[in-house]
Every structure is written in structure tokens, then in C-alpha cells.
A and B are shown apart, each in its own frame.
Chain A
């Protein structure tokens, strides 16, 4: 399944990217650097959580630390805030830093907030992290994910729920899933929503975190007991996004199924916030088929992990195609360069396009004087001139699997080398070198 998903996405515009950012050597061990054998007193590794049961907070925290310590080149652990009980809300960022800044790569967030008895999302999040850290050296598709993408794992947004005793009984009254801004209703109307949106330290921490991850297109979570806000009217979901949801939520025979999030009004959930305020696509894995415990539960976790990882291949991903170069006259050239989005998602949701004009794809050119630049979305219609004697210009957004044709008129001499760079907030970065014939 993972391979099938990744085949849909040429994992990287790899050649170009690696030319620009050649992978560096992994960090050498201390003993290699010093030439002296290092005294290695390794603390005993904590036992890995058994997916047959729900992990405690201590187990989760220890597992995350283990992964981050094992491969700091691909896994970094940060606390984005504290719970009311003073426990850290951890995010593990999984991406190969030697192949680019994670913030510049297409991103996916895996999030769980349920109590231990309410699902296995934390286990799935942890297994995703373990696979990417431990198995990527043996499995090329996993390594390709680390090179080309950023996966953010938030296995437990509410640590207090997994701790022996909650430090603040008042916190238990506020349900995490109803405390986000969009569609929020006051506690007096929808008990458990909190006095105001983001009144909880952990929800505020997540909102801050998501708002600063402009590279994230998918917010993946886990289903639970739904909250339906009485009186909510129909959600506004543009038709183009509905079509994307249909693609994302098509389950087939695969377990677990994916919830039709956009058809069930809730209000105040992180997914409402992610889609409506940030333009991310929510994906919620249903947990109705989750066995209660034992080996069957562990199998379910592994199946869900593969399903979740499959969504990485659907993220938008930009690249340059083969250029055509035509000499118009002495020292004057026309370059036609396709700029593609290989993902199954657009570089910004339709609702996002309507709401945030920012984050447009930017093309920059160096190495020759650009007389004029223009582009034609999806190869249809007429070119629109975007810049004249500028070194960078914007080309809007690109739909899923679509191409924007770029037309550059440049002044230069034979042998001049042009460097093209395309940057999409959610579709990553691509580069292309063109030598004038």
C-alpha cells in the first residue's frame, strides 16, 4: 500500500534537489572524531510500548526520546508547550536535515489527543516515528519520505490524560476537540468547549504550532466520539475541495477507514481550525474497527500506520520539467519550462486560495537578465505577464497533478548558465539549471 501510494508521487524531483543540496555525511560518532575509544555507558533502553495496550505518558515520552537520540539527523524532539499539569506537549519532527530544512518540504502532521481508552492514535503516531527512524535505512521508500518530506508527530496532545492523576480537575471539563476557534461555541451552549477558544494551554500550543507550519497540507488524526454542535449550519466547502476530500477519503477495503470529515459538522475541533483557518486538509482515521487489546490491536496499529504514511505521497510536490530553449535573436532567448505539481493535492486548498492570497509559488531566476516572465496555469488559456526585468515572480497555485507553463524571455550569451528556483510553501522547493546553447 505504501509503495502504491508513493508510486503516485515521484518521491523527489530528486536529481535537481540533490544537486542543489548534496546530502552530507551523517554525523560521525565521537570515537571516530577523536580517534580515541569513547567511554560508552549506555543507559538501559526502556521497553518499547506494547501496541497491544495503550501506552502511558511515561512510556510515550521515553520512546520519543529514544528515537530522537537514536538518529538526530532525521528526528528532533521539541516541546511546543505545557499541559495544565505541567507536562510537555512533544512534537517529533521527522525529516532528513541534510537534504534540506524540514520547514521547506511538504509536510504532514499526525496528531492524537484521545484518552488511553479511546483509541490507538498515540500508538500509530509512535509506530510512524519508529518506522521512519529505524527502518528507513533498509526501506528506500521510507528514506525517500525523510529526504523529501517533513512528518510531524504529536502523539499525545493531552499528557495529563495519560498520567496517573490530572493536576487540574478544571482542565478535565474542557474537551480538547471543542476548544479551537472555528465553529467554537461557548461553554454555556456546548458544555466542554471552554470559556473561550484556545483557553487551554495545550490547545493554544497546538494552534501556535500549526499556524507556523506553512508547509503542512494534511492534518491527520484519529476518530473518536464525535461532537456535533447543535445549530451548526452547513459547512462551506468549495466544490474543488470536495473533490479532493473524495480522493483523500476513498477507503476501499483498506482498514482503517477514513471518516468523511467534511460531511459531519462538529465545530471547535483542530481539524475545523486546520482547514478553515490554515487551509490544511483533515484526514481522520476511523477507529471503529480497533480491537480492544492484544495482538489484534497491535496489527491494527501497524495497518493504520501504513495507511497514514501513504498520505505522504499525496502531498503536493513541485518540480521543473524539461525546458525548451529557443534563440530569438542575438543575445535573446525564449525558455519554456513546465513547472509541475506531482501531488494528489493542490499547492493550496480552494478555500485557502479564497482566504489567503499569501503563499503563492515564487519563481526566481539568476544567471541572465530576465526581460519578461509569464505563465499559463495548467497549459490552458493565454499567458499572463507577471514580471518585467525582475528576478522573481509569482505564479499563483498549482492544482493536483497539474502543470504551470513558464515562459521566460532572457538576455544572455551562449554558455550562460541560468539557475531556476521554484518555491511553494506547501509543495516544497525545486531547482533547475539551464545552460544556454
Chain B
């Protein structure tokens, strides 16, 4: 079933074209074919360019990012097919609905009882490409419902942070914060120093402020910055473009907006006094709390958080375990060593499905290059035991043949840095910055970066405005979206197919004439993925329970045996019991695990 490489892409494209071009299944009324719900909900940004057969046929709309209304229409369209059900997640801080839907393959088990795969888009409020990815994945999965595994439920939340995404889509402000209001600089006022369009070009870019103590200096590539070292000059501070509206000497440090929901989760949470827009307490925001409650309510097995611009798959570990202690609780070392194998396995599935290089296991902090306190995937993993990832559809090596193994490219940079014959290391920007510069120069012809231009800040102060244009680094140009989301549906499907499937295997069952019964059984996991991940906690991992009916005496053995998590394609240790049972007695074995509904098997000795 798995499709790989060119063949896979061809099939995907063929499926997409078939969806566009297939006639409606039934013509109604006067014979005028009505569009299928799928067609009605089609994403114009994914429409392949078709030559217009007639002059009066309008050209397809230009690729673009969907806004909240279009996303809502898309979801409504899917709900109309009868293949999906709406899930109520309430509203954002700004009163926008948080839309979600669930679906799954045909099967006897209700969707709410199956292991659940959460597909969350743009919780960080800036990753519009992540939202588009969830839409694309949902569309592809719903397009082939017979391919969906019967033992899994998908819940898609494409616009998980509607306030932040709306602000970013409309005007590139807010930094992903919801529509709440926060006193970020602790001066007793809220939202009083936000960005401004200093040079009147209609865009908010970045502002370089000359500062002898600033942390940045210009790199060899003078578009880029690098960390300043002693003796470097000139030095700069970096801010969003704008004035010092509140006159406190800082620029744009308290703009409009509230909390970034992705930083509002409990594990590794840092309070707002650290400068993180993290909320007054963990899960204080409706966006994050509704997701948390949903995940607690379900058998949440996998969380795929589509956001970021590292182009890969990041695993839990938003904080440096050796980093500073905040609030008394030191950061946890994530992921747990016992789970590395499964994270690596999923990484391989990702590489196979997308054609992107396998990076091994990169933590969230490593992938993003900065700490990510209070990250959602850390909580989903540690508190709920869900296999959790941040999946970045976009990255510097996603477009146009730059899908060679990422590590190799970065290693080349590292070699350059380490070569004593090369330029001094201090002249170079970070490897990530250089990767983006390469993408810009090699793929976009250098268009997408505004060179730093002097600007008057008043009171005799001057700064420089410039930086990356919108739809370059954080999100791809719209026309690149189809490339950025390619293969993600296949990956999601492969993960779903790999979910654990537990069976109770009878290893021995023998009844002697005296009525003594020897019973030996174990749990076998037929799935690729383990029966669970994360800390075991009180609930434990997988367990096997023998229910002893009245009239049967358990002589040797425990009624309940716990095994921890059972690895994929493996089995638990054997459990053995000796019982005294009358003829015709019926015993029952029950296998339990964190993600699955209990599995039962009758035993008639």
C-alpha cells in the first residue's frame, strides 16, 4: 500500500486531478451536474494550472493562503459529505470559533473510543503553512475513506489559533498571540508599544538599532546578523519595525495581542515575567485549554502539531535540560531514552513519505534553535503519554530539489566554520540563517529580503529597517505550498496504520482431570508502534487481567500483570496461572493499554 518516490507523487497528483475532474456521482434536477461536496470545498491554492479551453472561462484563482472564512467553508463542505463529524472546541480569546472535525475508516468501534491522531495546525499563530498542511492532509485522507484504518480516529484542528493566524495572515503582526491583552513589559499598560510602518512601504519588517552593548553584529553576508563577540563593532539590537511609542527606551516590546497558546501548556511553562507571552497560568487560554480537554477526553495516541519552519519532524524537548531553573521545577530531559527508538521509527516513516532527509531525533529546541517553554507537544507527551511531534511543512530545504539530507548540508557549513583556512568563524551567520540565504539566492533569485535601509527614529536617533519579506521564511510563497505539504498525508496515514494492535495470545491451556488448569498467555502487539510512550505514572502501561468467575479458584498467579509499554511487533512476557476450575467454566482475559480500548478474550479450559 505504501507508495514511495516518484511513483507515490504521481499517484497523489493523479488522485488530486481525479478529484477535480471526476464528474459528480449523480446528476440531479434538470441534468445540471452539481458539484460534489469535495469539489465545493476544493482549495483553490492547490488547483493545478489548466489551459483555458474557452476565452470566457475564468482562470483558476491564484494560489493563496486561506483565511478563517474559507477554512470554515472548507470544513463545512467536508461535514456535508457525511464522512466527518464536527467537534465543538469553543471560541478563541477574540471570539473566533475554533473549528475541528473528526473522521475515520468504517469500523464497529465508535470514533470516540478509538486511538486518536490529533492534527493541529498553526497553534503558534504564525505558521499558516501548518494550517494549510492540516487542510491538505484532511482533504487527501477524506478523498480515500476506504484507505483509512478502521481502528483509528483523526481529529483535525486546522486553525487552532484563529486570532493569531488571522492577525498574521492580514498584517503580519501579533507574533502568534491571541486577541487577549497582556502587559508584556510590565509597565502597567497593555499593548501600548506595537510595531509601526516606519518607512511607509506598507510592510512591517525588522528594525536594527545601533547599540554598543547590543547582542548582534552584521555577518559576512551583510543581510544577516550574527552573535557579537567582544571587540565587535558596530553592534545592534533587533526589534520589530516601529517607534518607541511608550518612551521607555525599548522598541515595540508590548504590541497588541495576548498569549501564544503554544507556549501556554504546563510542562516547562515559564511565567509571563520571563518575557514569554505564556499566559497568567498554564492552559489559561481557551485555545490551549480546549485542546487539552479534548485530548484528555480521548484515547490520544498521536499528536502532529503542524507548525514551525525547520522543515522536519521535531520530538518533545522544548527546553535545555541543563538550562536555568524556573519556578522551582527543573526542565525534564525529553524525550525519555526508552522512547528514542519509536521516535526514530516515525522519523523514518516521515523521510520515506516526504522524501526529506532523515534527521534522526531532533528535539523541539534543537529543531527551532531556541528554547520553546510551555510547548504543547511536551505536555501531550509527558502528561498524556501521546506520541507527539512538531511537523514543519516549511523549511529552507523543502523547495526545488533541496531535499537532500539536511544533515549533510548543515555539516558542510560546519566544516566551513571549522576550516582554519576559511574565513574566521565569527564572520558567519548561523547555519540556519545561511540555509535560508541559500534558498533565497538559489531558488528565488535573491528576491525576498529587503536590504537594511536607514530610518529616522526621532530625537536624533537612527536605525535600519529591513529583513525577510512576509511569505518567505516563516511561511513559503503561496505557489510553493503544494510542494511544502507534499507527502504529509501519506505520512499521517502510515502513522495511523502503524498504531498498536493488541491481541491476547494463549501460550498454554491445559486442564487435568482433577480440575487443575494451567494457563499461560501474553499480549502481542501487531502494530509498528508501541502500546504507549512517555512516563508510566499511576495508570501504568499495558496490563493483562484474568477475570476469575465464581466457582473458580486461582491458586498461583496474579489476577493483574503490568508490563509497561509493549514495543511494536513484539509481545509481553508470558503470564502464568494455575487454577482449579469445574468443567465448563469460562475465564476471561482482558488486555489494557493507554491508547486502545480493552481487548477481551474468553478462555474455556
Contacts and interface: CB of A to CB of B under 8 A. Distances in A.
A91 B187 CA distance: 31
A233 B328 contact: yes
Interface string A270-308: 001100110000000000000000000000000000000
A273 B281 CA distance: 10
Nearest to A211: B280
A211 B328 CA distance: 20
A100 to B, nearest CB: 22
Most buried by B among A189, A234, A273, A354: A189
Interface in B378-404: 379, 382-385
B385 A356 contact: no
B192 to A, nearest CB: 13
A231 B267 CA distance: 14
B281 A207 contact: yes
A187 B540 CA distance: 12
A197 B266 contact: yes
B584 to A, nearest CB: 36
Given A184-B282, A211-B280, A232 B329 contact: yes
B188 A232 contact: no
Contact of B283 (A182, A185, A188, A196): A196
Contacts of B31: none
A267 interface: yes
B408 interface: no
Most buried by A among B265, B292, B383: B383
A272 B269 CA distance: 14
B282 A197 contact: yes
A355 interface: yes
Contacts of A185: 329
B538 A191 contact: yes
A356 B273 contact: yes
A187 B296 CA distance: 12
A343 to B, nearest CB: 23
A191 B536 CA distance: 11
Contacts of A272: 327-328
A183 B382 contact: no
A184 B183 contact: no
Contacts of B536: 188
Contacts of A273: 281
A234 B327 CA distance: 10
A358 B188 contact: yes
Contact of B282 (A189, A196, A358, A359): A196
B535 interface: yes
B535 A188 contact: yes
B328 A267 contact: yes
Nearest to A180: B281
Given A188-B385, A196-B266, A355-B273, A232 B282 contact: no
A135 B271 CA distance: 42
B281 A232 contact: no
Contacts, number: 103
Given A181-B269, A196-B283, A276 B183 contact: no
Most buried by B among A184, A197, A235, A267: A184
A263 to B, nearest CB: 12
Nearest to B534: A188
B296 A195 contact: yes
B281 A188 contact: no
B16 to A, nearest CB: 40
Contacts of A354: 273
B18 to A, nearest CB: 44
A41 interface: no
Contacts of A72: none
Contact of A276 (B327, B332, B538): B327
A256 to B, nearest CB: 25
A265 B537 contact: no
A234 B325 CA distance: 8
A357 B282 CA distance: 21
B328 A186 contact: no
B382 A186 contact: yes
Contacts of A231: 329-330
Contacts of B383: 186-188, 195-196
Given A186-B267, A191-B537, A355-B271, A232 B183 contact: no
A198 to B, nearest CB: 6
A358 B537 contact: no
A198 B281 contact: yes
B451 to A, nearest CB: 37
Interface in A339-368: 354-360
Contacts of B185: 357
Nearest to B327: A182
Contacts of A196: 265-266, 282-283, 292, 379, 383
A33 interface: no
Interface string B457-469: 0000000000000
Contacts of A45: none
Contacts of B186: 355-358
Nearest to A235: B328
Given A276-B327, A277-B271, A358-B188, A195 B281 contact: no
B328 A265 contact: yes
A236 interface: yes
B325 A233 contact: yes
Most buried by B among A188, A267, A277: A188
Nearest to B538: A191
Nearest to B326: A236
A255 interface: no
Interface in B248-280: 265-267, 269, 271, 273, 280
B329 A183 contact: yes
A387 interface: no
A371 interface: no
Contacts of B187: 357-358
A335 interface: no
Contacts of B539: 188
B283 A198 contact: yes
Contacts of A195: 292, 296, 383-384
Contacts of A234: 325
A358 B183 contact: yes
B306 to A, nearest CB: 22
A236 B183 CA distance: 24
Interface of A: 181-189, 191, 195-198, 207, 211, 229, 231-236, 265, 267, 272-273, 276-277, 354-360
**What are the 7 A-B residue pairs with the smallest beta carbon separation, nearest first?**
A188-B537, A355-B273, A183-B328, A186-B383, A357-B186, A188-B535, A181-B281
28 contacts: A181-B269, A181-B282, A182-B328, A184-B282, A184-B329, A186-B379, A187-B383, A187-B538, A188-B383, A188-B538, A195-B296, A195-B383, A195-B384, A196-B292, A196-B383, A198-B282, A231-B330, A233-B330, A236-B326, A272-B327, A277-B271, A277-B280, A277-B281, A356-B186, A357-B187, A358-B183, A358-B186, A358-B188
Given A181-B269, A187-B383, A277-B281, 10 more contacts: A182-B327, A183-B329, A186-B535, A188-B383, A191-B537, A195-B296, A231-B329, A355-B271, A358-B187, A359-B188
